[in-house]
Structure 1
Amino acid sequence: MSVLRGLLIAVVMSGVSIASSIPVVLLPQPAAAQSVETIVVEGNRRVAAETVRSYFKPGPGGRLDQSALDDGLKALIGTGLFQDVKISQAGGRLVVSVVENAVIGRVAFEGNKRGCQ
C-alpha cells in the first residue's frame, strides 16, 4: 500500500496528469422526491395539489423512482386537464408545474332563428 501511495505522490509532484487516463462513470441520480409527500405542485388553480400527487405511485418502500415519475407524468398528461406538465428538482423536492386547460364558461349561439329547422 505504501508503494502505491509513494507512486501516486511521485506522479502528482512530477506534474504528470493522470486524470485523462481514468475512466469516468456517471451514475443516474435517484429521484429527488423520497415520497409522495415531498412533491410540491405549482400552477394549479382548480385541480387540488393532492389530486396531482395521487398520480405518482411510490414503489417498494414508499419511494419514488424514475419509472414512477415517468408513469405519473404520462398519467397527468393523459387526464386532459392540463396544457402542460413539467417535473423538476428544487431544494431536494420534486416540483410538478402544471398549466391547466381553460374551462368553457359560456356557450352562446348567435344568428340562429327560433323555429327554423
Structure 2
Amino acid sequence: MNEKQYAWYFDNLSASSEPCNSIDECLKEARQENNGEYEKVFIGTVEYIEGKIDVDVLIENIQDDVYRDTEDNIEDYLEDVTYEEKEELNLLLNEVFDKWKKKNQYELDFYFVKDAKAYNL
C-alpha cells in the first residue's frame, strides 16, 4: 500500500471504486460503469485507515486503573511522562501492534477518498 492509489465515485450516494493505480484507470472504469446517467466522475487519492494505539489514551487508562486499584489512590502515576518518552512508547507499541495485525491478518483495508476532483465523462 505504499504506491499512490486513486478511487472514483459518481456522487455522494455511490460507493467508491476499488483502488486504481492511476487517474486514467479510474476514468476508464467509470466510463465503462456509467450507463449515461452521470456527466461527471469524482476521483481522489486513497487514504487507508491504519488503526493505531493512542498512547495518551493508554496512559490515561493505566492511571485510572492504578488509581482505582491502590489503597493509597496514587494520583500522580505517569504524570511526568515527557513528550519524547510518549513518542518512544508510541513507536515501540505501534511497531509491535503492526506486526501482530499482519501476522493474524487483522490489517484494515478500509479507506477514504481524499481531495477528490470532478472529471468529465
Tell me whether the two structures share a fold, i.e. TM-score over 0.5: no
Which structure has greater helix proportion? 2
Q: TM-score range by the shorter chain?
A: under 0.3
Relative to the length of structure 1, the TM-score reads: 0.26
Higher relative contact order (CA 8 A, sep 6+): 2
Whichever of the two has the greater Rg, that structure is 1
Relative to the length of structure 2, the TM-score reads: 0.26
